[in-house]
A and B are shown apart, each in its own frame.
Chain A
């Protein structure tokens, strides 16, 4: 069964460094998302992406964040200058039809 994959599973970085989290959505899906879950908190929406454009973004998704679909398979989330509070699990999701979103296993980002 097709699934969303994410790499790396765990990323440790120093404050102020740039990180890129990678996702391969399900191949025939058209809508892509990033969510995050800070330890002990809810899963929060960051951004949605369709047709090579951001469809919607949350207040969390400020100028330090960017997303890109550099080729036909990958979908990336870049954090330009990481802060301690960016430490979280980051989940990629995709949807085709009808409306259910399918999530990847997540990347645990630890900022030290």
Chain B
């Protein structure tokens, strides 16, 4: 099942710089997209979401961009902090209550101080 892909297994960024995490999807029925952050031995923590009627959503240091024609989304973290070091998962769904999330494989972000 490759409906949601995160092609970069890891990313290393200097503290204070921008982190850009990418995600691609193949199922054009998806209309709701989410980013989760996960530390080892913890559950995924919801970060930010975007519906397909928007192309950008911002929450503090986190911005998600959606390019529907390319079936691509990205998460920007500015400025990156060492505490941002974690695994970041992209997930996609249908914008209806009760629908399952389809996850990407995750990208390990390391922010170096």
Contact = CB atoms under 8 A, between A and B. Distances in A.
Nearest to B106: A42
Interface in B86-113: 89, 91, 93, 95-106
B38 to A, nearest CB: 9
B43 A104 contact: yes
Interface string A1-43: 0001010000000000000000000000011010100000111
Contacts of A103: 36, 43-46
A101 B46 contact: yes
Contacts of A104: 43
Q: How large is the interface on A (under 10, 10 to 19, 20 to 34, 35 or more residues)?
A: 20 to 34
Interface string A37-81: 000011111001010000110100000000000000000000000
Given A42-B105, A43-B89, A100 B46 contact: yes
Interface residues of B, number: 26
Contacts of B104: 42
A19 to B, nearest CB: 19
A103 B103 CA distance: 13
Contacts of A31: 97-98
B34 interface: yes
Interface string A94-112: 0100011111111010000
B97 A56 contact: no
Contacts of B96: 99
Contact of B101 (A30, A41, A45, A106): A45
The 6 closest A-B pairs by CB, nearest first: A103-B43, A45-B100, A43-B103, A31-B98, A103-B44, A105-B43
24 contacts: A6-B43, A30-B97, A31-B98, A33-B100, A42-B1, A42-B104, A42-B105, A43-B44, A43-B89, A43-B101, A45-B100, A45-B101, A48-B99, A56-B98, A56-B100, A95-B98, A99-B32, A99-B95, A99-B96, A99-B97, A100-B34, A100-B46, A103-B44, A103-B45
